[in-house]
Structure formats: C-alpha cells, structure tokens
Amino acid sequence: MIMSEKSKQHVDSCRFCWMCHHICPIGNATGQERNTARARALGISLVNREAIDLSEIMDNIFECCTCGACVHDCVTGWDPVMFTKETRLQAALEGKLPDYIMTLVSNCLETGNAYGKTETCEKLTEAIKAHSNKKDTLLLLGVDAKFMACEQALKATMVLDKTGVDFTVLENEPASGVQLDFLIGAANETKQQMADLAKTLNEFKTVVVYDPNDAKAIKQLYKEYGIEVSASIVTYTSFVAGLIREGKLEAKNSGKSVVFQDPYQLSRDLEETEEAREIIMSYAVLGEMLLNRKETVWAGNILMAQYMPEIIKKVAKRRIFNATSVGAKTIVTASVSEYVSLKAVAEETEILSLEDLILGE
C-alpha cells in the first residue's frame, strides 16, 4: 500500500507496549482488541507486507473516531490517527471503500454533508434569513448543527442575538471539508471543499466557528494542507466567554451543579480548555469528571452513528457513567455532535449545551 515513510515508520513501531490500550473510547465500548491503535497498526502492517488485502481491514479502519486519545497518550510519540487517515485515503484512491462509507462520501460531494440533507428546520431557516445581511462577523454553524440538530444551531444564533453583536449567517454555508477529511483523508476533493470555504471566510473580518470539529479543521488542517485563511477564526466558546467578560452577556448563576464534557477538538487539538468553563461558572457550579481537559474521553458523534449506531450508543453511555460516578446529574457539552450522541442515550442524566445553560433551558 502506498503510504508516507513517516506513517510506515509509525505503523511498524507501534505494536506491543499497550500504554494507550485503556483510553480508546471505541475499544472500551466494544471490549475488542481489534479496536485499539496497536491492533489497527498490525492490520495495516499486514497490508503493507502484502499478507492480506486492504479491503480486509476497511471496517476496522473506519471504527476509529480519530479522537487522538492514543496520540496524546503514546509514550513513544507515534501517531495512529495519521496512519489511519492515510489508509482511508489510499482505500479511496484504490476504490476499496466499503459501500456504507461510499454513500457518506457521495453525499458530501453532492450536498456538502454526509447525511445528504438539503433543508434545515423552519425556525432556523427564518433565523438565518434574519442574519443574511453582510456584517464583519460571520457565525459558521456547520453541517451537524444545521442539518442534524437545528434547535441547537438556532440557540447558537439566539445567544449572540442577546449580546447585540451584529453577525451574518450564510444561507448556503459551504462545507468545511471536515467530514470528507474524516472519510477519505487529504484527498483533492477534501482540499477543494476546504479551499472553497476559505474563500468565503476571507470575505469577513472575524469568523465565529460553532462546531469544534470545524474549528479544529480551519485552524489546524487548513494550514497543514496549505489553505490560506486571512479572517480571524474564533471558536464559539472563546467568543462567548469574551462577551461575558466584556459584560455584553448578562449572566446569572442558577447554582445548578454540572460537569463539562471537553470536546477533544478544543481541549487536545486547539488547547482550549478554560473558556467553556468560564461560561459555565457564570451560570452554574462546575464540577469535574475524571478524565477531563486534554485527557477527555470522546462521547460519540452523529457521523459515525450513521454506520455503527450501537457502538456509538455504548460510547455515549460509558461517558455518562464517568459523570454519574462522580455524582453528576447534569453534563454540559460544547460540541453539538456530542450533545446529540449523549442525549440519545441519557436516561436520568440531564444533557445541556452551553447555549441551553445560557438561555436558561
């Protein structure tokens, strides 16, 4: 299989140490050795040595959520996310993607989102229309919020409305390319989507990115892929925390006890951990789960639930167990995808987004 020398080195070196074995959210949910970084490396190594065909490991390659917990914990500095994404790219180039992934890829290419959606809910459509005039600041909602959690997307606009900030929301928001990047890695199609969005972003002074997954892509991957962004890119959490600091958003602490689910894209990739906590502490009393900040455990997402729903439910349930183990009754999320994932399985535990907390719902 064609693979960069760096990835090959990481594949061949990662194997036996087990130091990242216990932190994989998928491996812990399935209890299967095949889901660990080291087992995935072994599979890729067998393909590289032509002992098995690439198609034989494809399901396993798509069982990784690329959360980077193993990268963070790897004592020897190997990067399983890098070789997993390169293997996805190679599978796409060799026409060996499984059908269930091809469907998602085709949807991304045809509609800009993996779900093949073209319309959002009525209330959000109205809110977007009300913010269609061009201002200096753009609020980028992202495809998960816009098409799969439109109530949350609407609340994201309502929070900013409360502050009196003038902002635009695009009626036809281009895709960030982050879903394609997950599915087929750094393919030309991925980079094209990213370049198209960058062109639009560069028409604004400031872009507030609602989805941490998009924020990670625009702030990190675009640079890696040579896509220039001249607009100032700000995460939604840091923007809102700033508004609270400036007194533009009046906060009243309800005294409710909550814990925060750090999205790995903010905490591990962008090293942003305190802004969401600042927001929460203005409205509630913050406790901490075990494994927080950079050690966070991914709680599932909407994209992977399209092709492995039962495992994603288990992933979310395990994270809820982490919260209830410390006596928490309410989890606050900053990632719309984790919000949906947790909400889908929460029975006694309350799941709130930061917007829910701010708007008092």
Minimum separation from the CB atom of position 44 to ligand SF4 (A) = 12
Q: Answer yes or no whether residue 58 interacts with ligand SF4 by CB under 6 A.
A: no
**Sheet strands side by side (includes 350-353):** 285-287, 257-261, 330-333, 350-353
**In this chain, which stretch among 10-18, 202-210, 219-227, 250-258 interacts with ligand SF4, using CB under 6 A?**
10-18
Q: Answer yes or no whether residue 314 interacts with ligand SF4 by CB under 6 A.
A: no
**Among residues 4, 6, 17, 126, the one that binds ligand SF4 under rule CB under 6 A:** 17
| Residue 63: both structure tokens together | 């069982």
**In this chain, which stretch among 11-19, 46-54, 230-238, 265-273 interacts with ligand SF4, using CB under 6 A?**
11-19
Q: According to CB under 6 A, which residues from 137 to 196 bind ligand SF4?
A: none
**In this chain, which stretch among 14-22, 156-164, 212-220, 241-249 interacts with ligand SF4, using CB under 6 A?**
14-22
Q: Answer yes or no whether residue 74 interacts with ligand SF4 by CB under 6 A.
A: yes
Closer to ligand SF4 by CB, 65 or 105: give it. Answer: 65
Minimum separation from the CB atom of position 264 to ligand SF4 (A) = 8
Q: Answer yes or no whether residue 268 interacts with ligand SF4 by CB under 6 A.
A: no
**In this chain, which stretch among 21-29, 50-58, 288-296, 307-315 interacts with ligand SF4, using CB under 6 A?**
21-29
Size of the site for ligand SF4 (CB under 6 A): 25
**Among residues 29, 67, 259, 280, the one that binds ligand SF4 under rule CB under 6 A:** 67
Minimum separation from the CB atom of position 73 to ligand SF4 (A) = 6
Minimum separation from the CB atom of position 217 to ligand SF4 (A) = 16
**In this chain, which stretch among 52-60, 64-72, 217-225, 232-240 interacts with ligand SF4, using CB under 6 A?**
64-72
Q: Answer yes or no whether residue 69 interacts with ligand SF4 by CB under 6 A.
A: yes
Binding site for ligand SF4 (CB under 6 A): 14, 17-20, 23-27, 37-38, 64-70, 74-76, 78, 80-81
